[in-house]
Every structure is written in structure tokens, then in C-alpha cells.
A and B are shown apart, each in its own frame.
Chain A
Amino acid sequence: MRSMLTRGPAKIEAVITPLIDIAMLLVVFFALVSQIGIADFVKLNLPKPSPTAAVPARNESRIVINAIANQDGNVTSWRFSGEDFDVNPTGLQSLSKAVTAAIRANPAAQVHLRADANVKYTYISPVLDQVGKAAATAIPGHVVKLRLAVQPEHRGG
């Protein structure tokens, strides 16, 4: 009994390891589910030209347009900045407005077009039109740099 009384005051110390664990888990979680990641890089089976003239993507400002397609090569929607746009004329108009605003906000940005390898060209062509219009509408005389996303040769798949 006496030993308990003579033990002295208890030491108070912060155990920071769980705090660090939780903080890093949150960082990883939000990084993975953030709008930027989802909006810019939808998982797609990109074309794979071989031998390729493509260059690796750099850390340049970009505007990414993704074609969400089914297995038959029909685009079901266009995804831009986390928002889905229909494949009808109204949806394309909305996409054009969104791209116009993005180009106006960042004129130096490249436009990256990401589409599945099996997407039919009939879906791609109107978007090329809309991107061209958007650039010219945002800044008269402005020619946007269009980049076509492809898979590197050295990767499998």
C-alpha cells in the first residue's frame, strides 16, 4: 500500500504515433478520392501506337477530357473536371462552355484528350470541334495545344 502512495505523480505524455497514423491515412484517403484525381484520370484502355512518337507527360497545366465508353466503343458520357456531360448536342454545348471557362482561366493549359482505344471516331470528332471552338471563344485567336493521351510502348497490356 505504501509503495503505491510513494510512487510519485504519474507522468503525462502525448502518444503521437496514432495521431501520425491517422493523419497520414487521411492524407492518402483524400489524395485518392479527391476530385482532381478522379476528374483527370479515369481508368481507360488508351491507344497504344507502336513504335510511338509520343512524349512522356510533363508536369504542365492541363485540361483533361475523358471519354467514358462502353465495350462496344460507344461513348456514354464525357467527363471533364469531375462532371459528366451527355453525348448529345446539349451535353456537348455544356462541355464546350466548361472548357471555355477553363481555358480562359488558364490560357497556357494543354487540353488532354483521353479516350478508350475502341471508341469510334464519330464520337471524337465533335469534341475536337468543341475544343477548337472553346479555345477561340475563350481568347480570340488562341490556338489550344491538344494532346492525345496514349499508353507507352514499354508497358504491358
Chain B
Amino acid sequence: MKAGVVVFPGSNCDHDAYYAVTQNVGAQAALLWHQESTIPSDIDAIILPGGFSYGDYLRCGAIAKFSPIIGAVKKFADAGGLVMGFCNGFQILTESGLLPGALIRNNSLKFRCHQVGLRVETTNTPFTNAAEKGQILTIPIAHGEGCYTAEPHVLDQLEAEDRVVFRYVQNPNGSLRDIAGICNAGRNVLGMMPHPERATDPLMGSTDGLVVFRSLLSALVAK
């Protein structure tokens, strides 16, 4: 597997994602510059990492959605390619319309960084097929704008279509219906606020994030 890690000028978890994939997951990775408008043909999956894409002084991801690379990511996703957005990556996916809803200021109005309990709500995705439904993962969050919000009918639809992938055990930010991660209707695009790449090394306190990457590997093998 070769993951393409998108690098916006303000990405700051790009190297962490790269390191997790290459050192802890044992797969390959490449960095994709935000000005690129095509995805190299050897890329099997794309990671939109955490950070502050273009400073995000306006609205997280509001400028990133116009970047050349996001145009390419959309095409990649439309063709069924696997795309994962963590934290700022999730924000960018909602801004660019690849996922429904929006991420707004935490209800505490403060940045929050700590480990959270995350319940796997569905294993019917390429990102959770190696997990067990109901399994509780310990994975950190680090965000100021992570409160997931959407129209009630959108939330109903997400639930009806089994597209809520992760829920918080204890809601840290006011997200509606405790939603921490969702996928698109095609089930090939995942957005989640917690950082699985930070939970891939026992020295960092948890390896529960590995299940996301292992799921990805087995989905790619099956493809």
C-alpha cells in the first residue's frame, strides 16, 4: 500500500501521518504538495492530515477546498479511491462537499487535547473492517473546531445508512449525536476528528489507531 499524504502549507500532522504509515504500519507513503493537480498513479489511498491548511483564520478548510490538490482528491474519490481526513482533513472534506455537515467551534470554545474513548459504530467500511463493532478505541483529539453539526435529516440519513463510523464515549466538543467520524455514501471517504496516526506506537500511549490502517490494508488487498 502506498498512501499519499497531502501537504498544505499549514499542515502540521503531515509528517506524523507519513511516519505512522511508513514506520508503524509498515506501508509506503508519499507527500503530495497542495499545488499538484493530479494524484500519482501509484497512490492507493489519500490522507488529508491535521493542521491549519492555509492558516484557517477564516473557517477551517474554507480556502483548502479551492486548492488544486482537492480537485484531484475529488476525482480520486469519485473513481472509488480511498480517502481519509483526520482533524483538519475532516474539516476540509466537509468544506469541499465530500462529506456532509460541518465542524464548528467546540462547545467549550477552547482547544482541547487529550485521549478520548471512541466507539466503532460500523465495521462496514474500508477503514474499520478489521475492528469489532462496539469496540472502544483510545485515540487522542487535538482541535478547537471539532463540534460536528448537520441538519437533523442529514444526521438521520447518516444513521439510517450506517455511515456514522465513530462516536465519542464521552462527548468532548458538543458534536451532535456524539459523532466523531463519518463516511460518504460510497463508503470510500472517511472523516474523523480524532488522530489515529498519533495512536500507532506503544510509546505514545496507545496503538488503537492501527486498526484504521490495518483495515485500509485489508480493503486494498481485497480490491
Verify that A and B bind, or say they do not: no
Q: Which residues of A contact B (CB under 8 A)?
A: none
